[in-house]
Structures are given as C-alpha cells and as structure tokens.
Amino acid sequence: MTDQPIRREAVSDQLYSVLRDRIIGGSLPAGSALTAERDLAAEFGVNRHAVREAVKRLQQARLIEVSHGGRTLVLDWRHTAGLDLAVGIAGAGDGPALPGLARDALEMRACVGADAARLCASRRTPQAADAIVEGAGNYAQAGPDLAALGAADIAWWRLIVEGSGNLAYLLAFNSLVCGTLAVADVPMDLRTAELLDVDSHHRLAAHIAAREPEAAERLARELLSRSVPAPAQRTGR
C-alpha cells in the first residue's frame, strides 16, 4: 500500500491529485505507461469507478493519452498541459512545487496587460474610454490602503482588458487575478510601487482615451512590471 493515504471524501479528486503530482514530479515520466486501473484500485484501496474518474480528469488535463494499442501513456506535460494545470495546483494549496510560478504569472500579467492596453487604445468604444477614465479617478480615491487599491486595480484593469476586445486575454485575466493562480497570493508589499502610482493610472487612461496605442502599451508594461520580482529573487530554477 502507498504511504499517501486517500481520504474517503472526493476519492476520485484526491486520486487525480496524487497521479497528477507523480506525473509532474517525474515519478511517472513522459512516455511511460500509466499504472493499470486494477493496480491503482488495489494500491489506494478504492473502487475502479473512482480510478476511472481520476484517469478521465488526467486525460482532460492532457497529462495522459490513450494510445492506439489501448495503453494509457503519460504525456510530457510541459508540451501538452494548459494554464488550467497551474490554476488547479495553486488552488489545491498542497500540490507539487512549480518553482518560479508566481513570478512567471506576474510576467504573463505584465505582457497580457500591456498588449491589452495597446488593443484597447485602438479598439475602445467611447463608452469604454469614459469608464476607464472615470475608473482611474475612482482608483485615486481608494488609496492609500493597499488592499482597497488592489481591489480597485483589478476592477480598473478589467475595463481595459474588456475594451481590448480579446476574449483570450479576458479569460487569462480571470485566471491571473480573480482565480487561484499564484498572482492572487503575491504579498501586497511586493505590489506597493505599482499600486501607489496613481499618476500612471491616470496617464494610461488618458493614452487609451486619446487612442495612443504605443504610448499605452509602454506605460502599461512599465507599470505592471514593477510588481515582478527581480531575477535574483527567484528560487528553485
């Protein structure tokens, strides 16, 4: 029997997490065959229905693939898995360590935000521009409390991302700032320089309202990059 017991509630979810962690951790390497259903059921003391449900989730996450010969093979998750894998690990709180994930997510946030600002400046409707300018004014009133500024910042950036007209950016934004990805758990003091820069929020809103995409992109990247830790602060890489 395994030394990692399965609790009786949500058995298939727990089994999925264990197998996911084995794949990400390398104990089930890419190209290897996934342990047979009957052996997994025996190892964890669960019924085969729970095993099948866990295996189905692994397949949906693109961690495994059923080959033509009927064998279930482990995939190279770095080549096949999506952002939802990181979201699931961050949400679980006890998943495998993915070194640098918090910083990587903040870098992604800066890239998405900068390009969303560029697109928004080109595509925004007059109503969206008015809302973004008004939102910048409301943002100033939220300070100096960092928690209040953080909430106001998310609401304001949502207007910009929505104004970009890019659905993929909007879904990524939801995962990065409103879901369970690592950005949500970044210490607030790391974001102090960004959040307290009320003037840059006003100027970015003005660039968008004036349809100045290049200036909007530059300022947005500069503003969001302030919350990205310096490379020397990374560990585990």
For 91-147, the pLDDT digits (tens) are 555 555 566 777 888 888 999 999 999 999 999 999 999 999 999 999 888 878 888
DSSP summary character for residue 73:
E
Report which residue type is found at 229.
Answer: P
Fold classified for 11-81: Arc Repressor Mutant, subunit A (1.10.10)
The answer for residues whose C-beta is within 8 angstroms of residue 226's C-beta and 6 or more apart is 191, 193, 194, 197
Q: Give residue limits of the domains in the chain.
A: 11-81, 101-233
User: Residue 111 burial (CB < 10 Å; 0-12/13-18/19+)?
Assistant: middle
For 148-192, the pLDDT digits (tens) are 888 899 999 999 999 999 999 999 898 887 655 555 456 667 788
The length of the chain is 237
Class of domain 101-233: mainly alpha
For 50-103, the pLDDT digits (tens) are 999 999 999 999 999 987 777 899 999 999 998 878 777 765 555 555 667 778
Torsions phi, psi for 26 (to 5 deg): 95, -5
Q: Which of 68, 76, 64 is nearest to 40 (CA)?
A: 64
Single pTM value for the model? 0.76
- Three-state SS letters, 69-108: CCCEEECCHHHHCCHHHHHHHHHHCCCCCCCCHHHHHHHH
